[in-house]
Amino acid sequence: MSEWEAPAKINLDLRLRPPDRSGLHPLHSYFQAVEWLDRLVVEEGDEDGLVVEGADLPDDEDNLVWKAVAALDLRDRPPLHMELHKSIAVAAGLGGGSSDAAAALAAVGEMLSVDPERIRAAAPRVGADVPFFLTGGTALVEGHGEQITPVEPLSGFAVAIVVPPFELATPEVYRRWDELDGPTGPELAGSDLPPPLRRRFDELRNDLVPAAVSLRPELADWMHDLGEAWEQTVLMSGSGPACFGFFLDVGEAEDALDEVGEHRAAKAAELRTRGVGRRED
């Protein structure tokens, strides 16, 4: 039996281009893994089975965990019993499902001695964010998510993440972005960033914010109210609706979360320097 950690991510910066011939949107985004973790337990069993705790998700082939196993295209593999313990909010722009899939690739790959190159090749077939979670840390992600360039890990701050009490479906947000003719997101000037970020970025933005707000106008109120309470500009991760702000440490981030009203989920999180990995005692 092996137990694996699957972290969430935030998009520090997310810039899109219109769909290319593949129908997908090329992106240029800086991803940051954070210490908000799902857990995946994998062992051989009498028959294939997946138990999901903590979220209302399918346990059959529609779950990204099973899609990851299928993408490895393993012949004569043993039956697998897996348990997925969800903590990361779903449909929030935090990549939890993709991280779970990456954990399944890594766990099954290690169990069955799968060539690492085969694992890396399978990842983008499962989902655009899956390759990042095999690497984690701080990375520039380009193309359709398959081009991962690790950069010097960020440190020196923590994040407070809040998920408003509604969901946004990623395909719907991208469709709305197209309908709006590809707007750019509001910019956060580098002068307003913590020093570790200020040294790297002139500005940060998320081009999906206008589309997300168009679908759920209350998101704009959430971002405004959080910004007022935290005395800073709040950013959105991925396709939303998760919002986050920067703080000196986890303690300060936890204090900031005390000021938040009704929400679906929240986490004060440290930055994580790796992706999926075996759980450390």
Instruction: List the catalytic residues.
Output: 9, 129
In the chain, helix, strand, coil percent, each to 5? Answer: 30, 30, 40
Closest of 104, 19, 132, 119 to residue 72, by C-alpha: 119
Instruction: Please say whether the beta carbons of 86 and 94 come within 8 A.
Output: no
d(CA 214, CA 69): 36
Q: Where are the beta strands (DSSP E) in the chain?
A: 2-16, 27-44, 49-53, 80-85, 138-143, 147-150, 158-163, 187-189, 203-205, 235-236, 243-247, 265-270, 277-278
